[in-house]
Structure 1
């Protein structure tokens, strides 16, 4: 059955640009509403539905853009919503930015949604089911050599996500993370606290982009960082991003998604490919 929340709840943090505090307030929504963002700060309170046709990858995060109305930095809140199995919700915003919370993880969003008491609704849940293998490719250059990224979608009865993190320059240890969505609380315990990260040589570049919010980033130097929550925390966070980005499809997916050196760009490429009907079936 579809799921919403029982009552509204706010969640606050700093904008991803590090310029100001921002708050989202999560509200219940009727069955078949989907995920809808509401810009309370703009005249007429325009709405932006969570759909792949509005998805954009900007710099280091994902956004939704409809009629030049921006919803910035969507991946972590969308991962929390999908991770808890919630289908119908309205997210009221006081700026264009979803807040950065709990050190660029999804944990505070998960906690807020649990406080709002998820509740089953009377309409059956619909899925986009992967019925045949599909894949998307991208590539990058490191020290003059080309390296490929690939994201695969394979048929599977349950949502399952695997990520292989591998840097050609060994800036981080090669690591694997795997997540199988067995219960709506599994995401909370296995992935929600995995934090975004940067590598020390990126610090100045990223600081120019996100300002003071960089203070919440996990920083790796010489392949290590202090007080990791899991040995493979970076790979787990890549799964958070993947789940959040695939949420832009607008309905939950059933399949096994395997990413190798992938990121927001490939995630959204896959979301668009599935939504447009190449191997997906809405049931």
Structure 2
């Protein structure tokens, strides 16, 4: 597995119909910068809203996975995301002029071939892998679903078992020992459906884009000639037959266990919504989109919890300042009594760590609960914003000639009180690269090992106007 992030060299497009909507749609992969991740963009809607490929944005898992954000949705995301993970592409913008990803042949192979046709571009940033630290399990007793992620330091591997209590399908297993095997072993495996499910979907006017060429239909009951005739009519075919393998239209299976391999493909695509590349071994029995998403949420929550603990250092008063108060005043225009950062102890391209020492001598304690002094929450946010401002202004060669104005503060949470004598350590990290002077950051403030405040902020860099 490549340690460096990568994108594609140029854009590539695919046209087809949505499996469930039947609507024509064009999907275009576009190169994206480092740490961009996977994002969908609905270019057919006003404002061309962007939808992050994030498990927290999942809104439906019936028959496929749908994500929604900013008033827009994209459905059937699993095949395209599986292709990106299988090709080890980290950063790409996925443009769509419709709500549903084109089904193409029902697998991920056309996406894979398209990505390979334009080639890959290695980027400077390293992949921030999450190594599964211990067994993480998920189960659904009513559906006999069992899923487990196990430590495996060297690669990303999968094992999948399906068992539908069907004499035609039976019990099947599929496995890949490395994500590098995705193209040859998994990518070409098509979606499948049981005939009784297909009949129900057709009855409710669903799978409008369905075709015998993009789905394996497993025949789980005997069909009369008139039933075959009705199916042929539904799929605009002169004739449909049942092959000896128990599938419609004499379709040639690409693998004997193609259904199990496709379930593994779906699982890779759904787990891509965790948002970080993984190293570990994923094993699943009878997985489905709902279980995949629930499992992805569990893993993401663990990642978030662990990284939050690591993201802010426990403050060492003896730690050497990267920027002392004089250097801070050369960057920020704020002055006493409205300068709330005493020193910066870390500063990189992507994050900054600043310290605020709270003392009883602060002016606001004269009127803010003077009998029981508590550091005001709004000033905690201001101190966090000033810390983020240092990060943003460090990207220009002459910060003294610029100001940062905050456009939005969101998802603010105050977790614990801050009192005189405490030192708050603020860490502000870019959520995505700065574009057109706009920066989006995640901020966390800690006293010791306790998170006291967190928020997401958006700021704009503006050059000071000359008089």
TM-score (norm 2): 0.56
- Per the alignment, residue 122 of structure 1 pairs with 124
Q: Determine if the alignment matches structure 1 residue 156 to structure 2 residue 181.
A: no
In structure 2, which of residues 33, 43, 46 is the aligned counterpart of residue 43 of structure 1?
A: 46
In structure 2, which of residues 7, 10, 15 is the aligned counterpart of residue 12 of structure 1?
A: 15
Residue 279 (structure 1) shift = 9.6
Higher relative contact order (CA 8 A, sep 6+): 1
In structure 2, which of residues 247, 254, 258 is the aligned counterpart of residue 233 of structure 1?
A: 258
| 1:90-145 superposed Cα distances (whole Å, 9 cap, x missing partner) | 0111011111112x1001111111112112111101112211111111244xxxxx
* Structure 1 pair 214–57 and aligned structure 2 pair: CA distance change class (3 A): farther
2: distance between equivalents of 1:8 and 1:26? Answer: 5
1: distance between equivalents of 2:9 and 2:76? Answer: 25
- Per the alignment, residue 59 of structure 2 pairs with 56
- Per the alignment, residue 113 of structure 1 pairs with 115
Equivalences for residues 54-203 of structure 1 within 5 A: 54-102=57-105, 104-140=106-142, 147-157=143-153, 158-181=155-178, 183=180, 186-203=181-198
2: distance between equivalents of 1:139 and 1:241? Answer: 21
Q: Secondary structure at the match of 1:275?
A: helix
2: distance between equivalents of 1:281 and 1:57? Answer: 28
| 1:160-197 superposed Cα distances (whole Å, 9 cap, x missing partner) | 110011123445121110012253xx211111100001
**Given that residues 133 and 279 in structure 1 are in contact (C-alpha distance below 8 angstroms), is that contact kept between their aligned partners in structure 2?**
no
* Structure 1 pair 110–273 and aligned structure 2 pair: CA distance change class (3 A): same
* Structure 1 pair 280–6 and aligned structure 2 pair: CA distance change class (3 A): farther
Which shifted more, 67-76 or 55-64?
Answer: 55-64
Residue 278 (structure 1) shift = 6.4
Residue 274 (structure 1) shift = 0.6
* Structure 1 pair 50–273 and aligned structure 2 pair: CA distance change class (3 A): same
**Given that residues 135 and 151 in structure 1 are in contact (C-alpha distance below 8 angstroms), is that contact kept between their aligned partners in structure 2?**
yes
Q: Secondary structure at the match of 2:126?
A: coil
Residue 206 (structure 1) shift = 2.6
Q: Secondary structure at the match of 2:208?
A: helix
Residue 60 (structure 1) shift = 0.3
Residue 31 (structure 1) shift = 0.6
1: distance between equivalents of 2:141 and 2:206? Answer: 23
**Given that residues 18 and 209 in structure 2 are in contact (C-alpha distance below 8 angstroms), is that contact kept between their aligned partners in structure 1?**
no
Q: Secondary structure at the match of 1:123?
A: strand
In structure 2, which of residues 201, 209, 216 is the aligned counterpart of residue 206 of structure 1?
A: 201
2: distance between equivalents of 1:176 and 1:25? Answer: 33
* Structure of greater Rg: 2
2: distance between equivalents of 1:32 and 1:19? Answer: 34
In structure 1, which of residues 34, 39, 60 is the aligned counterpart of residue 37 of structure 2?
A: 34
Unaligned runs of 5+ in 1: 141-146
* Structure 1 pair 3–280 and aligned structure 2 pair: CA distance change class (3 A): farther
**Given that residues 65 and 78 in structure 2 are in contact (C-alpha distance below 8 angstroms), is that contact kept between their aligned partners in structure 1?**
yes
2: distance between equivalents of 1:30 and 1:205? Answer: 44
Equivalences for residues 267-282 of structure 1 within 5 A: 267-277=292-302
2: distance between equivalents of 1:156 and 1:195? Answer: 28
- Per the alignment, residue 352 of structure 2 pairs with none
| 1:220-277 superposed Cα distances (whole Å, 9 cap, x missing partner) | 1256333111111000000100000000011111111111011111111111001111
Equivalences for residues 256-275 of structure 1 within 5 A: 256-275=281-300
| 1:191-226 superposed Cα distances (whole Å, 9 cap, x missing partner) | 110000111222212333212424321111256333
Q: Secondary structure at the match of 1:44?
A: coil
**Given that residues 193 and 216 in structure 2 are in contact (C-alpha distance below 8 angstroms), is that contact kept between their aligned partners in structure 1?**
yes
